[in-house]
Amino acid sequence: MERYLLKDDVWWVGAIDWDVRDFHGYETPRGTTYNAYLVIDEKVALVDGCREGFGPEVLARVRGCCGARRVDYLVVNHVEPDHSGAIPWLIERLAPEAVYCSKRAKDALVLYYGDEVVDGWNVHIVATGDELSLGRNTLQFIEAPMLHWPDSMFTYVREAKTLLPNDGFGQHLATSRRFADEVDTSVVMEEASTYYANILMPFGGQVQKMLAKIGEMGLEIEAIGPSHGVIWRKPEDVARIVEAYAGWSEFKASERVALIYDTMWHSTEKMTMAIGDGVTQEGVDCQVLRLSSNPRSQVMRSVLESRGFLIGSPTLNNNMFPTVGGFLTYLKGLRPRKRIAGAYGSFGWGGGAVKQIDAELTDLGLDMMSPLETKYMPSSADLNACIDLGRQVARRVKEAGE
């Protein structure tokens, strides 16, 4: 199987998952990859594993790079099963001398695979600043708790000036090309922003601390090899994704309003279109996303990239419409900040949905608009009120950028 030289002695030996379309609730229409990296030197180190079932693909690429040579070390940057699921299988066949991981990663490995298995792996616990010499190359370890699990860490190949940050800087993107400069930039950045919105948005503070830590440690980074998607190897691509992470982690966003809704008998839909008219009358970009027609991972990308968002729902049995309730549960876990937000919707004989949405968004500490509710089909006066709401939120969005 084809393997790819990332830089100097560092090779990509991962696996491509063309078929996955759901990643624990995150829709992945373009598939994904499980990237692993082999550093070939006087000693050979494999950094990261892959999902269960993809081990033979990784093993074939490892053997293609180093033949029958032993893989001396296995580095586990993160224990989530899409990276560690095949590790017991790979260890059985590669028989590494030692496994390196963080303290929390070792604890998690035991919980996943059992004491009797992990005890036989000769696990070495490492912390930030610890190093492992391979000969010409040195691996340096950087703990990265909550990016995006407590056990996460980065591995830096010092001489190759290459950062292997596991889930940091990744994208769910399956392609026959391995490098960002070989793929349409708009596609790569769309998937990178979707990935950040659905995986790393709650951890903006930790992202900022990690970027600061990399600067404090004086790490020169000429290439970034994430564990999903394509590799950043050109200076302009490395700069682009690092700059994007700096902005996303500070919750910077475009002058745009996202209208996120669902509808039952078109009343909430009519409200949505009127609100959108009001937004555009103020010269602000507006994106309309019906939850029953758009994957929630794409809707979350719009939340990441928009300074303001409103959520609309009809009332069903005194509650939010099911798609809206499900999305709010998802959004609450991702904890967006520094956003102008609000609730609107329609009801028949009894309300409830708008009040519930308003309460949920208020609990997130967002900058709230007054909620707007209509009964049955919105009247001309109701639609004018919707237009006015759109104009108000657009003006607030513009003011937030000043």
Which residues are tagged catalytic? 24, 78, 80, 82, 148, 167, 195, 228
Element (H, E) at 343: strand 340-347
What is the distance between the alpha carbons of residues 326 and 362, in angstroms, rounded to a whole number? 17
Dihedral sign for Cα 94, 98, 101, 106, please.
positive
DSSP 104-130: HHHHHHHHHH-HHHHGGG-EEE--TT-
Which DSSP helix (H) or strand (E) runs through 83? Answer: helix 81-84
CA distance 137 to 159: 6
- Helix (H/G/I), strand (E/B), else coil: 40: strand
Instruction: Extract the tokens encoding 200.
Output: 């790393």
Alpha-helix residue ranges (DSSP H) falling in 256-349? 267-281, 296-305, 322-334
For 390, the enclosing helix (H) or strand (E) is helix 380-400
Strands 372-375 and 37-40: unpaired
* Contact in structure between 328 and 291 (CB atoms under 8 Å): no
Q: Cα-flanking dihedrals φ and ψ of residue 392, to 5°?
A: -65, -50
| Residues across the chain | 402
Q: Which two tokens stand for residue 75?
A: 């580095």
Beginning with the edge strand found earlier in the chain, give each strand of the sheet holding 44-47 in spatial order.
Answer: 4-7, 10-12, 37-40, 44-47, 73-75, 98-101, 123-125
Nearest CA to 48 out of 159, 168, 199 is that of: 168
Query: Taking the CA of residue 262 as centre, how many other CA atoms within 13 Å lie in the half-sphere pointing to its CB?
Result: 21
Q: Find, among 219, 233, 87, the residue nearest to 157 by Cα.
A: 219
Determine how many CB atoms are found less than 10 A away from the CB of residue 9.
21
